[in-house]
Structure 1
Amino acid sequence: MEFKDNIPIYLQIKQYLYRQIITGKLQPGSKIPSVRELAVLLTVNVNTVQRALQQMNTEGILFTKRGEGNFVTEDTKLLEKTKQELIEEELDKFVDNMAALGLTNKEITISLTRYLNRE
């Protein structure tokens, strides 16, 4: 995973795990890799991974079983809400970038429709 310099690494780790959950690579109720495994996989410090996981536990996206590890919540409403929040964030970035290029909302809609309909 390549990290961006302008965003804290622990937040990027959270985004990575959110995407793994949203895309179904990590199923509700499934065990996620250990802190150490994630640190090795992502080539980051164990403490950085731990910070990301603690926040996700606080948010309810993950839960801990003592002695077993961290698991993805089975709360499908919370997962759907999280998915919608991620979609909104990505749309915000997209619209901001298009507006920075001088496009109006109507031009953005036309351009996106044309892009999606291309063959």
Structure 2
Amino acid sequence: MEFKDNVPIYIQIEQHLYRLIVQGELPAGQRIPSVRQLAVDLTVNVNTVQRALQEMNNQGILFTKRGEGNFVTEDTALLEKTKKELLTRELDDFVENMHRLGVKNDELIPTLSNYLENLGEK
């Protein structure tokens, strides 16, 4: 995983785990890798991973079973809410980037539609 300089690493780790959860790679109820394993996999400090997991525990996305590790919540409503928030963040970034390129709001949908039509031809 490549980290951006302008966002704290623990937040980027959270976002990475949210994506894995939303994509179904870490389904509801599944145990996630240990703090140490995540630190090794992501090549970051154990304390940084611990902070990310603590934040996710505080939000209810993860829960801890003593002696067993951290697990993804089974609260499907919370998972759906998390997915919508992630989607909204992605759309915000997309629209902001398009505006920087000079694409106006009324041009967004036609531009995206044209792109998607041409995507099938590649």
Q: TM-score, normalised by structure 2?
A: 0.95
| Superposition RMSD in Å | 0.6
Equivalents in 2 of 1:102, 1:20: separation in Å?
33
1:34 corresponds to: 34
Alpha-carbon distance, 1:101 to partner: 1.3
Equivalent residue, structure 2, for 1:9: 9
Q: Which residue of 2 aligns with 1:83?
A: 83
Residue matched to 2:19: 19
Letter in 2 for 1:66: R
Distance in 1 (CA, whole Å) between partners of 2:10 and 2:77 is: 24
SS at match of 2:40: helix
Q: Which residue of 2 aligns with 1:102?
A: 102
The size of the alignment, in residue pairs, is 119
Alpha-carbon displacement from aligned partner over 1:27-80 (angstroms, at most 9, x marks no partner): 100000000000000000000000000000000000000111000000011001
Bigger mean CA deviation after superposition, 84-93 or 106-115: 106-115
Mark the runs of 5 or more structure 1 residues left unpaired by the alignment.
none
Q: CA deviation at 1:116?
A: 1.4
Secondary structure class of the residue paired with 1:110: helix
Secondary structure of residue in 1 paired with 2:28: coil
Query: Structure 2 CA distance, aligned partners of 1:34 and 1:61?
Result: 16
Structure 2, unaligned stretches of length 5 or more? none
Equivalent residue for 1:115? Answer: 115
Runs of 4+ displaced beyond 4 Å:
none
- AA partner of residue 68 (structure 1): E
